[in-house]
Structure 1
Amino acid sequence: MITLPSEQLHLPTAAELPDSDDTPVDNELQNDTPNILLEILRWIWRDRSDWYWGVDMGIYYEPNLEQPEQSKAIVPDGFLALGIKQRRPDEGGRSSYPLWQEKILPILVLEVGSKTYNGEYDGKVTDYTAFGILYYAIYNPFSGKGSHKERQFLQVYKLIDGKYELMPLVVLTEGGRMAWLSEIGLGIGYERGMRGDWQRDWLYWYDRSGVRYLTDAERADREKLAKEEAERAKAQAEAIAQQEKLAKEQAEAIAQQERQEKEKLAAYLRSIGINPDEI
């Protein structure tokens, strides 16, 4: 566990700390993956304000009082903090996550494996263990290839008695895998899906039963489909109602014609001295 400095010191604020190290990410998935998870969380927890999901943001843990820009930080591809006081401190949002200011340690960190080795399986394990972060997830898009041949597509660790232990993954009906994070109340896992025109295995959030939460685009597509189906059903019902109305009108017209013919016949019979009621 890390130890935060005394509040009596003048500690650098988030505004005084660097929010970028100008280092390009190694691959496109390091940006897309955590942002998909953020997008889904915004919908799942749309009525909550006590959480924060950071993407490629510095978690500052050791301030440098003389040179704030030299303060020590770790920068996971994504992280989740629960129990924060406010989702957004001001309209500019967060530029960094200084622990001495936030006072809430992230409960989950996510690393997206890079093509070139970047310490996800050793150095960062040591760092996050020292921090005391409960869950550590590694999503490796290069699983089974080259130097990543023996790596799993998704590994989720839980800190138990000061040591990370690999969690078992539940096999999902759609062919993916999921680890249930009980302290968060969500599962994190993967399955094959489409992101725009890009089809591959993506990371998603799941409920306790292993049902995947949809992305914004998927929800919009389903809502559009449901609306179209409702409109088709309405049009069909209106067509049936129109057919029934026409059939009723046609039947009434036939009945009316029959009555007129009967009355005409009765009038003729009376004109020649025959009572139609006696026939």
Structure 2
Amino acid sequence: MLVVLQYEPKLRLPTSAELPCSDDTPVDNENQNFIPNLLLFLLKFIFGKRTDWFFGVDMGIYHTTGVSPLVPVVPDGFLSLGVERHRQGRQRKSYVVWEENGVVPIFVLEVASRTPGGEYDTKMGIYAKLGVLHYLVYNPDYWQRDRHQPFEVYRLVDGEYQLQIGEPYWMPEVGLGIGRAPYQDGELEIEALYWYNQQGVRYLTPEEQLARYQERFGELL
């Protein structure tokens, strides 16, 4: 049966300037800020001069597949491809799908926290309906409480998320893999998420690249 959607001329979707830029919900652990910001920082070097991508951190995604276009979903991080790096030469306050030619994020990251945030049910359902292809729940601290694994990647198949295996997890549509590795934060070594190439080799931070260069350069002296 052919279903024809009727256009409602009275329906006017708000612009990004008219929408709140976040839900003002504070994070309750450092990882929720550090992990996605590290991924963003690395992307700026990996993608180089590419201008067809956007990575949002703790930013509202406004869409028309939920209860209301005025109610955003706010992941800890997300990646969209095929959009302007800086929309109309400006920084985004929020990601408004109907202003992005309908492009939804291809990858979404949720970092589980002390306060359960619906990562495995409510938000998962929202992202599935929205059409996010790859969904990662990173849960290094509360995975036993939630009865899940610390690192779980889901792929959208026929409208439902299926848990994937393997780490780093390769995303061919993105051209990147993602996985865990140590990060040296001063004297403290912590776990972080990194991007990987198709061969499973981790992309280094600029500091790591400089250290390797200095080590090799010193060997030549």
- How much does 1:91 deviate? 5.4
**Does the aligned pair in 2 maintain the 1:62–1:72 contact within 8 Å?**
no
Deviations for 1:68-125, whole angstroms, at most 9, x for unmatched residues? 9x811100000000011x2112554111000110121110110001112111111111
**2:38 is matched with which residue?**
36
CA–CA separation in structure 2 for the residues paired with 1:17 and 1:46: 31
Q: 1:192 to 1:62 in 2, by over 3 A?
A: same
Tell me, which stretches of 5 or more residues in structure 1 are unaligned?
170-176, 234-279
Please name the residue that 1:95 is paired with.
Answer: 93
Q: How far off is 1:199 after superposition?
A: 1.0
Give the one of 139, 147, 153 matched to 1:156: 153
Structure 1 residue 178 corresponds to structure 2 residue 168: yes
Residue aligning to 2:119:
120
For 1:13 and 1:227, locate their aligned partners in 2 and report how far apart those are by CA, in whole Å.
Answer: 53
Larger fraction in helix: 1
SS at match of 2:189: strand
Q: Contact 1:143/1:152 (CA < 8 Å) preserved in 2?
A: no
Is the 8 Å Cα contact of residues 59 and 73 (structure 1) preserved in structure 2? yes
- What letter corresponds to residue 58 of structure 1 in structure 2? G
Runs of 4+ aligned structure 1 residues displaced above 6 Å come to: 5-8
* Preserved CA contact (<8 Å) 2:53 2:80: yes
Aligned pairs (5 A) from 1:1-279: 10-62=12-64, 71-84=70-83, 86-90=84-88, 92-103=90-101, 104-143=103-142, 145=144, 147-148=145-146, 150-169=147-166, 177-230=167-220, 233=221
8 Å Cα contact 2:107/2:135 also seen in 1: yes
Q: Relative to 1, partners in 2 of residues 1:8 and 1:226: Cα closer, same or farther, differing over 3 Å? A: farther
Q: Structure 1's 154 and 78: CA in aligned 2 closer, same or farther, altered over 3 A?
A: same
Query: Distance in 2 between the 1:221 and 1:7 partners?
Result: 59
The 2-side partners of 1:127 and 1:144 are apart by 21
CA separation of 1:205/1:7 partners in 2, compared to 1, >3 Å: closer, same or farther? farther
- AA aligned to 1:151 is H
SS of residue in 2 equivalent to 1:72: coil
Q: Is the 8 A contact 2:113 2:142 kept in 1?
A: no
- Alignment CA distance shift 1:144-1:75 (3 Å): closer
Structure number, greater radius of gyration: 1
Aligned in 2, Cα 1:142/1:162: closer, same or farther, shift over 3 Å?
same
After alignment, is 205-214 or 193-202 more displaced? 193-202
Aligned CA distance change for structure 1 residues 6 and 178 (closer, same or farther; 3 Å): farther
| Change in 2 beyond 3 A, CA 1:214/1:120 | same
5+ residue gaps, structure 2: none
- TM-score with structure 2 setting the length: 0.87
Distance 2:179 2:151 in 1: 7
CA distance in 1, matches of 2:8, 2:141: 43
How many equivalent residue pairs?
213
TM-score, scaled to structure 1? 0.70
**Whole-Å separation in 2 of the counterparts to 1:221 and 1:58:** 37
Structure 1 vs Structure 2 CA RMSD: 2.4
Instruction: Report deviation, 1:9.
Output: 5.4
The letter for the 1-side match of 2:57 is V
